[in-house]
Structure 1
Amino acid sequence: MTQRRLRPPVRRYAVLAVVVLALLAGCGDQKAAAPGATGGNTGGSKVAGADKLVACPSTKSRPPVTNGLPDISLPCLGNGPDTRLADLRGPLVINVWAQWCPPCRQESPYLADLQKKAGAKVKLIGIDYDDPRADEAVKFAVEQKLDYPHLVDQDKQARVPFKIGGPPLTAFVDKDGALVHIHYGAFSSQQELDQLVKDKLGVTW
């Protein structure tokens, strides 16, 4: 008699366990497909408006250099493959920013102007840092006319190697890939940014 009474509850618990597992599996799928997600990217971003950004280029695999960029890979905010920072060579200006950062908005016209003036003499790359809203980040980059590739560092991988307390931050990389200077905080003028490019990277236009 005791065994007969136990069987129905056991069956109910088994069915309940199957239902719970199915629900958990469904939540995992929804999380992976959440709007604005910016995980590993080998093709193109699914964020609205990302196609308006300059695509991230493919880079040649190279060994890290002494005093060079950290050996970390970041996904593209727009279209294009992930980028390994250690593969990059200059003259290059890397600007760390976020759409929620007022000083980043303050200095963005200077970076846009540098890109127009320097042209092919200096490459620019942006890193959208610790930013929970990929859609707003894309909107910011488009509105500010930041017409160069942008990467995403939502997990703050660059925090330790760049000693980031918070954005903005701008790194200067020479033609050999060495990190020659880091400017913390926003630029106060176009002249300040232009002069650093000339002094640290030896580039004039």
Structure 2
Amino acid sequence: MRGSLKAAALALVLAVAGCGGSDEAPPTPEPPPFADCAALTVPPPAAVPVTLAGEGKALPEVALPCFTGGQDVTVSAIRGPAVVNLWGSWCGPCREELPAFQRFAERAAGKVTVVGVDTRDRRSAASSLATDLGVKYPNLFDEDERLRAELGITVLPATLFVDRDGRLRHLYNSSALDDATLATLAAKHLGVTLP
């Protein structure tokens, strides 16, 4: 009896310690909340060609991975009108303005493409923040800050306003953008007025 009591006690200890086999699969990580990047190099379907003064500046030839996977996107191939926002989960003003970009993306659907570039970040932190804030527009992942360096940007957030031909019309690199300022800048630099 003493032997069977020891055996039962050992079986209980092993079961509690998790040493027994389990039929449960390990949890799979949550997919990122962002949309894929497939359409970033095609102008939005309802985009109306607008004549803007001057030629604008070419975007850098930097290829970045789409946050959700798939083929890399060369930034110079992005066609607008587009608003490209460089951000990171570690950046306070970035966190503050991300909801305004999501609302803008919803209002501008079919007229302006909104693209995020998660910069110098951990994928898990960015994905968690985006999920918390409801950010769903396409995002590129720039762990090594290659785009920021190519543009000569020293601090985040930074927002690029890109015309239909993929030319940089304006670089905003100041305080967090709100809904009204973002819409005003899009109207001024892209010729796009939203309701």
TM-score using structure 1 length: 0.69
- 81, 100, 105: which one pairs with 1:110? 100
Secondary structure of the structure 2 residue equivalent to 1:203: coil
Q: Matched residue of 1:120: which SS?
A: coil
Count of residue pairs brought into register by the alignment: 155
Structure 1 residue runs without a partner (length 5+): 1-46
Residue number among 38, 52, 56 corresponding to 2:37 in the alignment: 56
Does residue 166 of structure 2 align to residue 177 of structure 1? Answer: yes
2:117 alignment partner, SS class: strand
Match of 1:34 in 2: none
Deviations 1:133-181 (A, max 9, x none): 2111111122222221111111111123222212110000001111000
2:40–2:113 CA contact under 8 A, matched in 1: no
Match of 1:146 in 2: 135
Classify 1:112/1:142 alpha carbon distance in 2 versus 1 (closer, same or farther; 3 Å): same
Are residues 1:204 and 2:185 paired?
no
Q: Tell me the SS of whatever aligns to 1:78.
A: coil
Aligned to 2:23: none
* Residues 107 and 186 in structure 1, CA contact (< 8 A), matched pair in contact too: no
Cα drift, residue 48 of structure 1: 3.2
Cα 1:81–1:197 change in 2 (3 A) is: same
> Does the CA contact (< 8 Å) of 2:60 and 2:75 recur in 1?
yes
Query: Following the alignment from structure 1 to structure 2, what is the Cα–Cα distance between the partners of residues 183 and 148?
Result: 19
For 1:77 and 1:53, the matched residues in 2 are separated by 7
Q: Give the RMSD, CA atoms, in angstroms.
A: 2.1
Match of 1:156 among 142, 145, 148: 145
Could you tell me the percent identity over the aligned residues? Answer: 34
Alpha-carbon shift at residue 58 of structure 1 (Å): 5.9
Match of 1:78 among 68, 71, 78: 68
Bigger RCO (CA 8 Å, 6+ sep): 2
- CA change 1:157–1:117 in 2 (3 A) is same
Q: Note if contact 1:58-1:81 (Cα within 8 Å) is conserved in structure 2.
A: no
- 1:124 pairs with 2:114: yes
Pairwise CA distance, 1:66? 7.0
Please tell me the residue identity of whatever aligns with 2:134: K
